[in-house]
Amino acid sequence: MSHNLQFYIDGAWVDPVVPKVLDVIDPSNEDAFAQISLGSKADVDKAVAAARRAFETFGFTSREERLDLLNRIIEIYKKRSQDLALAVSREMGAPRQFALDSQVGVGLAHLQKMAEVLKSFQFQHAKGTSVVVKEPIGVVGLITPWNWPLNQITCKVAPALAAGCAMVLKPSEIAPLDAIIFAEIMDEAGTPKGVFNLINGDGPTVGEALSAHPGIDMMSFTGSTRAGIMVAKAAADTVKRVHQELGGKSANILFPDVDLADAVPKGVRGCFGNSGQSCNAPTRMFVPREHHDKAAELAKTAAEKFVVGAADASGTNLGPVVSQIQYDKIQGLIESGIAEGATLVTGGPGRPADLNRGYYVRPTVFANVTSDMRIAREEIFGPVLSILPYDSVEEAIDQANDTVYGLASYLQTKDLDKARAVARRMRTGNVHINYPAWEAGMPFGGYKQSGNGREYAEYGLEDFLETKGILGYEAA
């Protein structure tokens, strides 16, 4: 039975209080292929009440009980991996193999890492005759985005469960079907009723109701900086904790000693991965001025190797962007780059010539970009790379940090000592030296308007915990 038109509240699939449906669009062809229900404040009230009842018990479960639950979820998640991949591919346009290997794979990695962390995490330690304990913060509201849906669901749900919290999840209404499958996984795993609740809906309705709800102790939000500010404002009246993972405009500094033939194509692939829809994508490539033209030539070659097409088409490695709204935003920014005088190296406005339906963006590279241009300052969230020339590494560092964002930065050099020194100066939550492999155990989050708090592994777990000091715990 399909649960697409239902919500998961208090351990059961239920109909919305007020029926209202929304089409789910396949960005590969612009066709509606499913419908979901949109929730209301009344649905939020029901879910929060269920979560509050559940927390009274689940908040005091043992480490072993929560670990057993996580391990059951992991095994069922593996069993449903193909279903999850197909849902993600259709709802947000990820090429099929990428959806399975990366979109679904990263979710599994977060679940497994949290189980590993929970085994040995110290929830209590002595301090003289007193003791310090880490306790679950309570009932948490989780709002997740469409671009890496399972990544963000798992890196919120897993630490919330590990901490002993109860929760209400609102996934993006643009890419909601994977979350419905995830709720089915939670149900099959025997999650105690009310511990995990799912409501589909939009930000102004369900998101606002969750953020402002007095029964929610913490909001964990991933999405745009604009929406994150709205969540924080709605949460302020009840003084709840707000965790935010927001936008980015990540710099990729290629040092003068770098092998351009190696570094530039890697930088292009990093920028264009997931159709450019990653908040930590290296979208600003800084290159020495004397190597600028060569870097632009290499970037052109690398960009033109991408095969743009439908998510289910053979050979596609650059699917569509997620929606008409995103497509129009990206097109506007590409047009602004041309109008402001950047050199269009490849790509440009419009769809690829052989595609007349679907939200397809031409892989685009701009050169001779300056830091005051919109394409260098605004988060584009599409396959668009800006190449900025610099005259000294000091200038590159200053320009890289000259942004309201601070999520990630990238450094490419043969001089590891130099890279380590520069890494300390980057005002970002992550620094990547010479394209290292992704790690589920590293903290993830940003400085400045890229957010507050950290996710992944023990760093994410800490955000769902309160610290309590119990004085006089031992006799003096």
Give me the active site residues, please. 245, 279
Return the H-helix or E-strand segment holding 56: helix 41-58
The DSSP bridge partners found for residue 451 are 245
Task: Tell me which residue of 343, 344, 362 sits closest to 352, measured CA to CA.
Answer: 362
Task: Tell me which residue of 271, 274, 296 sits closest to 282, measured CA to CA.
Answer: 271
What is the rounded distance in angstroms from the CA atom of residue 61 to the CA atom of residue 192?
11
Helices (H), 279-387: 292-303, 324-339, 374-377
Classified as helix, coil or strand, 456 is coil
DSSP secondary structure letters along 378-394:
S---SSEEEEEEESSHH
What is the rounded distance in angstroms from the CA atom of residue 462 to the CA atom of residue 469?
16
What is the rounded distance in angstroms from the CA atom of residue 101 to the CA atom of residue 307?
18
Pairing between strand 139-143 and 130-136? unpaired
Classified as helix, coil or strand, 223 is coil
**Residue 292: phi, psi to the nearest 5?**
-60, -50
- Tokens representing 69 are 């639950």
Contacts of 11 (CB under 8 A, 6+ apart): 50, 187, 191, 192, 193, 194
Other Cβ atoms closer than 10 A to 119:
11
- Tokens representing 102 are 């990366």
Task: Tell me which residue of 153, 83, 82, 62 sits closest to 111, measured CA to CA.
Answer: 153
Task: Count Cβ atoms within 10 A of the Cβ of residue 152 and give its class: 0-12 exposed, 13-18 middle, 19 or more buried.
Answer: buried
